Amino acid sequence: MRPVPSILHLDMDAFFASAEQAAKPSLRGKAVVVGGLGPRGVVATASYEARRFGVHSAMPMAQARRLAPNAAYLVPRFGLYRDISEQVMGLLRELSPLVEPLSLDEAFVDLETAGAAWDEASARETGRRLRERIREVTGLTGSVGLASCKMLAKIASEQAKPDGLVLIPAGMERELIAPMPVRTLPGVGPATADHLRRAGIVTVGEIAEAGEDEVVRLLGKAHGIALHAMALAHDERPVVAERDTKSVSVEDTFDVDIHDRVRVRLEVGRLAERCVQRLRAADRSGRTVVLKIRRYDFSTLTRSETLRGPTDDPSVVREAAARLLDGVDTTGGVRLLGVGVSGLADFTQEDLFAQAHVHPDGVVEEELTAEPAGSGPGEEVASGAGAGEEAEAAPRAEPAERIWAAGKDVRHTEFGPGWVQGSGLGRVTVRFETPDSAPGRVRTFRTDDPDLDPAEPLPLVTGGEVAGTEVPGAPTGP
């Protein structure tokens, strides 16, 4: 354990929803829910105002609408969220070269490496200045946790929410976490917590008191040893600046099960194209193409095909995915489709017609699993998001006709920039306002109005660039 609370964990507050409130003055202080708006959509993020009604991430959107019928329901705008994330990560890298992003809105920072924290006071001041600078640059708030290890820093940031800072002093770790519920520890979900409760263990301190042997007996060797160590506030994991991506994938959940085989094939081809776009954006290639199909009965079939060499050619990935589809029976209906590429590399195979590597038994890898109905928080909006991450997604590509989804940016030749409040029956309702304006007026147009066009998101803060900036007032040394 470090003698100084020099590991910082930043978690942006209700990130997607807060960004939407900052962009739309009429929604500030009101309940906002971001996620998939279709019948099978789920909540990606809910504002704190919406959480008071019981709405939370990964909840089915239909349930959220019942709990908070008057909330604003918006589709995600991932381009905007990524831009804000880059600004925030830029500020973190001004503090230290060791920044470990966990998702768009969350990261660990090792303050010791750059000499930004040498005692408790300097660590607290660095955290305070960081929060101040994030608000200046993005207009949003983030919560900061400071501790002597990663696990405790993350616990501290959770305790700090919303818009706060919590520091766990070195030497006080066990005392502070002992009365917390077992669910506080990473990796303890409802099933594990219930198993421990039946054994009379409900707090972190009781895990420590039970002893390693007893916890191993209850949970098994690997999980038990790790959990007992965490209960003793032991976590030696370093902050790692680069986290190697193991795969790239995209997936879609459909509002109505697809039965038409031709439609299924077209969707797989489209997903393959999107997957390659992500692959190229990351300057990577891959050797293994993966097809994921969730069928009408919620069983999930995953098949993979390994090529002779890595590729980022869309035709190769598309054809491999099509071959995998040929071996799957979809007559009962398809609920979800996904295409991914793994076995990533930094170069591509020159042979554009790379063939699949066939195993000696003549089949490709195959795995069949069953999932209960409504299980996975990723339906509709999730697309291979990492653990802990707010359920990020890649929405399905829009067809050629213009679709006015609630929350999307638009621009009118007369009234200027605005956003879609809703649409239907050939009409679209738009509120005209910008991040730095007063709440705007609402107007309704025909969906085919030639003066109304989709637009790019406006920056939340004018001049909010961070390149080459420093966190003002941050400590520079003892």
Please report which confidence band the pLDDT of residue 478 belongs to, taking 50, 70 and 90 as the band edges.
low
The first and second tokens of residue 49, run together, are 């105002």
Annotated catalytic residue, options 49, 106, 305, 379: 106
| pLDDT at res. 376 | 36
- Over the stretch 310-337, which tens digit does the pLDDT of each residue have? 899 999 999 999 999 998 988 889 999 9
Known binder of ligand: residue 11? yes
DSSP code for 73:
E
> Domain coordinates of the chain in residue numbers?
1-171+376-478, 180-231, 247-364
27/442 Cα distance (integer angstroms) = 13
296/351 Cα distance (integer angstroms) = 38
Can you give the C-alpha Rg of the chain in angstroms? 24
| pLDDT at res. 58 | 87
Among the residue ranges 135-149, 248-262, 297-311, 458-472, the one predicted with the least confidence is 458-472
Query: In the CATH hierarchy, which top-level class contains the domain 180-231?
Result: mainly alpha
98/447 Cα distance (integer angstroms) = 49
The first and second tokens of residue 308, run together, are 């002779």
Flag whether pLDDT at 363 surpasses 90: no
Work out the average pLDDT over 108-117: 91
The DSSP result for 35-47, as a single string, is: E--STT-BEEEE-
Of 445, 429, 469, the closest CA to residue 26 belongs to 429
Residue with tokens 């966990």: 102
CATH number for the domain formed by residue range(s) 247-364: 3.30.1490.100
Compute the CA torsion angle 136, 138, 143, 148 (nearest 10 deg). Answer: -80
The first and second tokens of residue 96, run together, are 């230290």
| pLDDT at res. 469 | 38
- Which amino acid makes up residue 25? P
| pLDDT at res. 361 | 34
63/66 Cα distance (integer angstroms) = 5
| CA angle (167, 169, 170) in 5-degree steps | 135
Residue with tokens 């738009």: 430
Known binder of ligand: residue 448? no
Catalytic annotation on 206?
no
155/158 Cα distance (integer angstroms) = 5
- What is the β-pairing status of strands 285-295 and 334-345? antiparallel
Would you identify the CATH topology of the domain 1-171+376-478?
Alpha-Beta Plaits (3.30.70)
64/62 Cα distance (integer angstroms) = 5
